[in-house]
Amino acid sequence: SPWKPGSVLLSPPAFSTSCARCGKDGRLRRKRAISERQLTRYFVDQRKVRVVGGQGGGGGHSFLSEPRKVFGGPDGGNGGDGGHVIFKADQQMKSLSSVFPFYQGFHGERGGSKNCYGANGAHMYVKVPVGTLVKEDGKVVADLTQHGEEYIAAYGGAGGKGNRFFLSNENRAPKFFTPGEPGQERVLHLELKTTAHAGLVGFPNAGKSSLLRAISRAKPAVAAYPFTTLNPHVGIVHYQDYEQVAVADIPGLIKGAHQNRGLGVAFLKHIERCRFLLYVVDLSVPQPWVQLQDLKCELEAYEKGLSERPCVVIGNKIDLAQSRINLPLLREQVAVRVIALSALTGDNLEELLLYLRELYDTYVKTEQSRGQSPVKW
């Protein structure tokens, strides 16, 4: 029917009445999927950084000359100090991939007339993950283990003195001033040690990555060849009371790893920060308890006392027939608790999650009894 005065059109207009910028589609766009090979590039656990402090501002050179005060004397102010380069541990950072190879603090401003001091240069803050070691010439100079902890990597130079500073009874009109000092320059090596609560330790193809996929949302690569995992992955296990337990998937170890064989010492260092260990053993191989003995020997050879931390033995691949035969034999050879499960089918994962929470609660109580704050994710 034709439109009549006073009636309301219910159909929407055929064009947008807003501007072109506001008329764009407001729906959220999905992020582009990143492959596992691209994801591993973003994890960096070592970085060489050259840091230079900001240069101090030069001193001012001027003489006061005003009406009725022609010979007012020197009034050049001092220059501002250069800014420091500061490493700051941030819990949001999980890798050293965002750390650049060079940082320099901001320079201080030059001193002005009328005894005006130059402004100090702003500090350059560099965010690094919690658990970062700062080394210089092979020696550890800082260990950033707490959120918000800071370390001054390079001091800024001091500001120069203006000619006002050199005023004396012997020299009533000093004309000289000093330039600002250069900032400190250092070459530092940053080394990241994963600060997870639990560490999955095992030989290649024991099923560590599959287990981490089953108990968390982490997506490490899984394949039927050894050394699939080339970078540590950290998965978060969520509980109903909002507690979060971080589990690290350490790349597979072999005999002689403490002598830098295989992936070597590069990933043994990540186990140092784990509060308790989860030994993952393949139950389908003959004599699986030999794997556990070899793993403990490698950890003990790398660092004395590392294999004595609270632990649990996880017998993986219980869905295979040979694994059911080896399970009672493994429990006879091992004194600690053994949890048999299948990361592929998800059998008996509940027992592991409950015992993992018991280990975490024991760790929290121990840290609180010592007056220290436990690591939270």
Of residues 358 and 6, more confidence is placed in: 358
In this predicted structure, the answer to whether residue 259 has a pLDDT above a threshold of 60 is no
Residue 324: count of CB within 10 angstroms of its CB? 13
CA distances from 188 to 33, 137, 144, 217, 308 (A): 35, 8, 14, 34, 33
Coil/strand/helix, residue 228: coil
In this predicted structure, the answer to whether residue 26 has a pLDDT above a threshold of 70 is no
Compute the distance between CA of residue 80 and CA of residue 107 in angstroms, rounded to an integer: 8
Return the CATH fold of 198-370: Rossmann fold (3.40.50)
Kindly report the CATH number that applies to the domain delimited by 43-193: 2.70.210.12
In this predicted structure, the answer to whether residue 242 has a pLDDT above a threshold of 80 is yes
Residue 25: count of CB within 10 angstroms of its CB? 6
Look at residue 221 in the predicted model and tell me its pLDDT: 53
Judged by average pLDDT, the poorest of 123-132, 209-218, 238-247 is: 209-218
DSSP 8-state class, residue 347: B
- Mean per-residue pLDDT for 220-246? 69
Q: Report pLDDT digits (tens) over 362-376.
A: 999 998 898 887 777
Alpha carbon dihedral 163, 166, 171, 174, in 10-degree steps, equals: -20
Among 254, 207, 255, 201, residue whose Cα is nearest residue 232: 201
Delimiting residues of CATH 3.40.50.300 domain(s) in the chain = 198-370
Compute the distance between CA of residue 369 and CA of residue 117 in angstroms, rounded to an integer: 51
Burial (0-12, 13-18, 19+ Cβ within 10 Å), 92: exposed
Delimiting residues of CATH 2.70.210.12 domain(s) in the chain = 43-193
In this predicted structure, the answer to whether residue 41 has a pLDDT above a threshold of 70 is no
Give the confidence band of 301 by pLDDT, cuts at 50, 70, 90. confident
Look at residue 192 in the predicted model and tell me its pLDDT: 81
Handedness of CA 300, 302, 303, 307 (dihedral sign): negative
Compute the distance between CA of residue 282 and CA of residue 207 in angstroms, rounded to an integer: 7
- Mean per-residue pLDDT for 59-83? 84
In this predicted structure, the answer to whether residue 323 has a pLDDT above a threshold of 90 is no
For 256, left (φ over 0), alpha (ψ -120 to 50), or beta? left
Give the confidence band of 210 by pLDDT, cuts at 50, 70, 90. confident
Compute the distance between CA of residue 121 and CA of residue 250 in angstroms, rounded to an integer: 42
In this predicted structure, the answer to whether residue 10 has a pLDDT above a threshold of 80 is no
- Mean per-residue pLDDT for 140-149? 89
Compute the distance between CA of residue 48 and CA of residue 191 in angstroms, rounded to an integer: 9
Compute the distance between CA of residue 20 and CA of residue 269 in angstroms, rounded to an integer: 55
DSSP 8-state class, residue 119: P
Among 229, 341, 230, residue whose Cα is nearest residue 282: 341
What does R_g of the chain's alpha carbons equal in angstroms? 31
- Mean per-residue pLDDT for 254-269? 52
In this predicted structure, the answer to whether residue 112 has a pLDDT above a threshold of 70 is yes
In this predicted structure, the answer to whether residue 4 has a pLDDT above a threshold of 80 is no
Contact 349, 341 (CB under 8 A): yes
Look at residue 227 in the predicted model and tell me its pLDDT: 45
- Mean per-residue pLDDT for 121-147? 90
Compute the distance between CA of residue 204 and CA of residue 224 in angstroms, rounded to an integer: 10
Look at residue 265 in the predicted model and tell me its pLDDT: 52
Mean pLDDT of the chain: 79
Longest dimension (CA), the chain: 106
Compute the distance between CA of residue 49 and CA of residue 61 in angstroms, rounded to an integer: 37
In this predicted structure, the answer to whether residue 1 has a pLDDT above a threshold of 50 is no
- Mean per-residue pLDDT for 246-268? 59
Look at residue 23 in the predicted model and tell me its pLDDT: 40
- Mean per-residue pLDDT for 184-190? 94
In this predicted structure, the answer to whether residue 358 has a pLDDT above a threshold of 80 is yes
Give the confidence band of 294 by pLDDT, cuts at 50, 70, 90. confident
Compute the distance between CA of residue 291 and CA of residue 298 in angstroms, rounded to an integer: 11
DSSP 8-state class, residue 375: P
Give the confidence band of 50 by pLDDT, cuts at 50, 70, 90. very high
Residue 221: count of CB within 10 angstroms of its CB? 16
Look at residue 8 in the predicted model and tell me its pLDDT: 45
Look at residue 201 in the predicted model and tell me its pLDDT: 85
DSSP output for 58-80: PPP--EEEETTEEEEEE-PPPPP
Residue 350 φ/ψ, nearest 5 degrees: -65, -40
Give the confidence band of 93 by pLDDT, cuts at 50, 70, 90. confident
Contact 62, 174 (CB under 8 A): no
Give the confidence band of 126 by pLDDT, cuts at 50, 70, 90. very high
Look at residue 86 in the predicted model and tell me its pLDDT: 96
